A and B are shown apart, each in its own frame.
Chain A
């Protein structure tokens, strides 16, 4: 029963929404279903917040590894929650000047916006910036010329990286001019050999073709999995019968 009811709900909703894609009158139903989902997700956020508190309080209580970070996490969570809910530093809205709570919580100069701008964004940007170093270490491993395939990958990567910089044009243009003077061909006819043009060909022909093949495979995979889920062939996501 615990699995059958959700399965029926998922199947009925799923097939209706698939049909609605082809019926102009019902094409907005998908968006409305998403609004319902957002309401559900917002309610479930309380579960997430509760779980976060529980986990970190347990960690502090048991003095498990990294329990100091849990104190930081809980403090940040509670302070942000308090400042956001109390709308600290937010001026009342123009329409309701007598209600101190009527202003937008993301108002410029408000406490929540200040925390977002000067604490959250720099922290997120710091994490994002780490990518530069991780790309370097991953590239080092990926571009090791161990065999023929790796050598081709390395060569292609070199062309694309070099071709995306001004240096690529700066270096390859004289070579093309030299080739043109040696062979007697027009410079324009050899321009496709310039590194930036080769880079464009690689990204717009070879990579695009590969990407499309992957995209088609993904689309078919989604169709197949969706069908299995809606028909109840794959029920592993539904959890326990007990």
Chain B
């Protein structure tokens, strides 16, 4: 009965997957997607009839001001104005817009000519000029435009302005405060651990299984396969994967198991070779190290998948480790590993791929567990200290979230504008938002 229900859901899953695949951001299409996103982000230009109406130009905007853009390296000026009276929010049906855009002109260092600095759409009343020089001064004019032959008289800013370089990005102050607290806690706990204080770390089943997986491969006389993700060594997940590889290689050397590491990046291959060689040396088995077991396949996502799955099917490794950054290939790899009966341990910080690994692997390291793997497997007290430091960060996060929820609930219950709403705005915009805990 349960199998029948499961099959029904599985068939539904296929249907949804087939529809959903077209929406899934594949790595292979990432570049194209980015380009189309960039296009989508550009301000929409309304199709407007632009027949010339000589002698009846739009009225100019007013109150033009130009100020230094804060928190930059002296390269930006913000120009603001009040909309032209002819720039209405909504035009009647059959009517055309009198103002379709604004032209922002600037004069540099008192030179005679005003040149075009940029354009803003109708109903926009500000413009960021980001191509300024901190050693120059600028005077701005704004012109309302109906079409090339119908422009308002320029409205000028009263004073000239020079951009100023700031030495500190004040928008990121809260982020720095939280970062310093977390880093301070990590360093402090590492020091405490080095001083001999015993630290208790909960058991992580996925990491406990690493020993078991390598041991099983040894007993079966088959190899272990380690996949360090498909991103390059500049990605933190790949670095985390390599640190885990170091421990897995140490175990493989100790047990006398064979370890194979196909990589999709040349730099990852060279790093992995160094790491594995060091691990074999550390285990006292430098003779067992074979650099040909760590090899490069291809940078291409699905070419790499084809190569790795081919190896899996032919060699039938007894243990598969997936530690790094994965995209659409995660399930293809894990399901192939499952089909050959390998014991599988996965770890990634890609939330969208975690469900696939959970479904197909025996053990999955979720997010932070993956980054804790190296410290956990090393068993060194001072490395375990860093995990305790992370807990302090979590405590800060939980406290902020709980306080934020309470204040937001109280603000919602109290209704109207009051200080509680200001506190909520401050928390969401600064401490908890993109300027603080979630940059």
B165–A24 touching, CB < 8 Å: yes
If A143-B9, A233-B190, A239-B271 touch, does A220 touch B390 (CB 8 Å cutoff)?
yes
Asked whether any CB of chain B lies closer than 8 Å to the CB of A154, the reply is yes
Residues of A within 8 Å of B28, CB to CB, are: 124, 128
Residues of B within 8 Å of A139, CB to CB, are: 6, 9-10, 13, 359
Residues of A within 8 Å of B71, CB to CB, are: 24
Interface residues of A in 9-37 (CB under 8 A from B): 21-25, 27, 34, 37
A154–B9 touching, CB < 8 Å: yes
A135–B17 touching, CB < 8 Å: yes
A238 CB, min distance to chain B CBs, angstroms? 7
Asked whether any CB of chain A lies closer than 8 Å to the CB of B267, the reply is yes
Give Cα distance in the complex from A223 to B394, angstroms.
12
A144 partner, pick from B2, B242, B297, B305, beta carbons under 8 A: B2
Residues of B within 8 Å of A181, CB to CB, are: none
The chain B residue with its CB closest to the CB of A126 is B302
Scoring A residues 124 to 166 as 1 if CB is less than 8 Å from chain B, else 0, what string do you get?
1001111111111111111111100000001001100110110
- A interface majority secondary structure: helix
If A135-B331, A239-B277 touch, does A127 touch B302 (CB 8 Å cutoff)?
yes
A24 partner, pick from B169, B305, B358, B360, beta carbons under 8 A: B169
A169 CB, min distance to chain B CBs, angstroms? 15
B430 CB, min distance to chain A CBs, angstroms? 15
Give Cα distance in the complex from A146 to B354, angstroms.
21
B269–A48 touching, CB < 8 Å: yes
Asked whether any CB of chain A lies closer than 8 Å to the CB of B162, the reply is no
Interface residues of A in 200-239 (CB under 8 A from B): 211, 214-229, 231, 233-234, 236-239
Interface residues of B in 1-47 (CB under 8 A from A): 2-3, 5-7, 9-18, 21, 26, 28
B383–A233 touching, CB < 8 Å: yes
- B interface majority secondary structure: helix
A41–B335 touching, CB < 8 Å: no
Stretch from B77-85, B89-97, B138-146, B231-239 forming part of the interface with A? B231-239
Asked whether any CB of chain A lies closer than 8 Å to the CB of B270, the reply is yes
Scoring B residues 297 to 319 as 1 if CB is less than 8 Å from chain A, else 0, what string do you get?
11111110110001000110000
Q: How large is the interface on B (under 10, 10 to 19, 20 to 34, 35 or more residues)?
A: 35 or more
Scoring A residues 41 to 54 as 1 if CB is less than 8 Å from chain B, else 0, what string do you get?
10011111101100
Residues of B within 8 Å of A184, CB to CB, are: none
Interface residues of A in 53-81 (CB under 8 A from B): 55, 58, 65-66, 69
A51–B269 touching, CB < 8 Å: yes
B271–A130 touching, CB < 8 Å: no
Asked whether any CB of chain A lies closer than 8 Å to the CB of B255, the reply is no
A131–B331 touching, CB < 8 Å: yes
If A52-B296, A237-B243 touch, does A136 touch B278 (CB 8 Å cutoff)?
no
Q: List 26 A-B contacts (CB under 8 A).
A: A24-B71, A41-B232, A44-B270, A48-B265, A52-B297, A55-B295, A128-B28, A131-B331, A133-B14, A136-B17, A137-B10, A139-B9, A139-B359, A144-B2, A161-B9, A214-B367, A217-B367, A221-B367, A223-B390, A224-B389, A227-B186, A233-B383, A234-B378, A236-B374, A239-B277, A240-B274
